C-alpha cells in the first residue's frame, strides 16, 4: 500500500502538484486546493487501505481543474466533478489491483476491498474494472 | 468558452501540448488548431479528444456549455464574486475542528 502511495505522490510531483502527508485525527479525510495544486493526506486516517484512493481522487480534482464555484455548481450528478474524480481515481488504481492476477481472481468486491472503495462507488468500480480488463 | 478554449484549458492542466493531444487522439498534428477558426469538431473527434484528456464530451462542447450557462445565469453572477480558493474534502466529509486550521494554512500555500 505504501508503494502505491509513493507512486501516486511521484505522479503528483511530476504534474506539479504538492502533497502534504501529516498525521492528524483518525476521522480527517484528504483535502485539496485545486487552484494552488496542493493536497493534504492524513497518514493517521482510520482506514489506511483507503489512502491511495483519497490521494488519486484529489489528484484528479487538480487535473480536472475543479477550482471554480461555477464549475462545481454547473455539474450535474452524472458528470459532476465528484463523479469524474471518482472515475479518474479508480482508473488510476485498477492496474495496481489487477497487476499479474489471472482474470478469474479479479472481482469488483476484491477491488473495492483492496482500496476500501465506498459502497456508493460500486457502479463506477464495476465500470472501470470492466473497461480496464477489456483493453 | 469555445470548444477550442476548453481543449486548450484541459490540455494545459495535463501539461500536454495541443499537438500531443491530437497525436494521442489519432488526429493529424495540426487538427486541433483548425477549431480555433470557427470550425466545430465532429462528435467522434470530440469523443477521442475527451478520452485523451479524461473528461466528458460535455466538458469540451461549446453548445453544452452555453445551455448550462443560460440555465444558471443569475447564480453565475452571484458566484463569480467569490474568488476565495476552494478546498474540497474527500467524499464531502466534514473536517474535525481541531484539524481545520492546520489544513487550511497548508493548502492556502502561504
Chain A residues near residue B82 by CB distance under 8 angstroms: 69
For residue B40, give the DSSP letter: P
What is the rounded distance in angstroms from the CA atom of residue B50 to the CA atom of residue A35? 22
- The grid cell for A41 is 493526506
Chain B nearest C-alpha distance from A106 (Å): 24
Domain range list for chain B: 3-71, 74-110
* Torsion region of B56: left, alpha or beta (phi above 0 gives left; psi -120 to 50 gives alpha): beta
Chain B residues near residue A38 by CB distance under 8 angstroms: 106-107, 109
Chain A residues near residue B60 by CB distance under 8 angstroms: none
Which architecture does CATH list for B3-71? Orthogonal Bundle (1.10)
- pLDDT single digits (tens) A30-56: 999 998 999 999 999 999 999 999 999
Residue B66 has pLDDT above 70, yes or no: no
B51 to chain A, any CB pair closer than 8 A? The answer is no
- Model confidence at A130, pLDDT cuts 50, 70, 90, reads confident
- pLDDT single digits (tens) B7-53: 988 998 888 999 999 999 999 888 888 888 877 888 888 889 998 99
Query: Between the CA of residue B55 and those of A115, A119, B8, B49, B84, what are the distances in Å?
Result: 23, 23, 13, 9, 25
CB contact under 8 A, A24 and B90: no
Q: What is this structure's pTM?
A: 0.64
- pLDDT single digits (tens) B79-92: 333 446 778 889 88
Helix or strand run (H / E) with residue A91? helix A81-98
Amino acid at each position: 500500500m505504501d508503494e502505491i502511495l509513493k507512486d501516486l505522490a511521484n505522479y503528483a510531483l511530476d504534474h506539479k502538484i504538492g502533497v502534504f502527508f501529516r498525521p492528524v485525527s483518525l476521522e480527517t479525510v484528504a483535502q485539496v486546493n485545486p487552484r494552488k495544486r496542493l493536497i493534504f493526506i492524513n497518514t493517521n486516517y482510520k482506514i489506511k487501505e483507503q489512502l491511495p484512493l483519497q490521494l488519486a481522487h484529489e489528484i484528479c480534482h487538480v487535473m480536472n481543474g475543479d477550482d471554480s464555484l461555477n464549475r462545481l455548481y454547473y455539474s450535474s450528478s452524472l458528470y459532476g466533478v465528484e463523479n469524474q474524480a471518482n472515475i479518474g481515481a479508480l482508473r488510476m488504481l485498477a492496474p495496481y489491483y489487477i497487476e499479474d492476477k489471472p482474470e478469474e481472481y479479479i472481482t469488483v468486491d476484491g477491488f473495492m476491498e483492496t482500496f476500501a472503495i465506498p459502497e456508493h462507488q460500486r457502479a463506477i468500480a464495476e465500470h472501470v474494472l470492466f473497461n480496464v480488463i477489456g483493453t | 468558452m469555445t470548444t477550442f478554449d476548453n481543449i486548450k484549458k484541459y490540455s494545459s492542466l495535463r501539461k500536454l501540448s495541443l499537438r500531443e493531444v491530437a497525436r494521442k487522439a489519432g488526429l493529424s498534428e495540426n487538427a486541433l488548431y483548425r477549431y480555433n477558426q470557427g470550425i466545430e469538431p465532429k462528435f467522434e473527434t470530440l469523443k477521442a479528444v475527451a478520452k485523451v484528456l479524461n473528461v466528458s464530451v460535455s466538458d469540451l462542447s461549446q453548445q453544452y456549455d452555453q445551455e448550462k450557462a443560460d440555465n444558471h445565469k443569475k447564480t453565475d453572477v452571484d458566484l463569480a464574486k467569490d474568488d476565495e480558493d476552494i478546498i474540497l474534502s474527500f467524499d464531502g466529509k466534514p473536517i474535525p475542528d481541531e484539524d481545520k486550521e492546520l489544513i487550511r494554512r497548508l493548502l492556502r500555500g502561504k
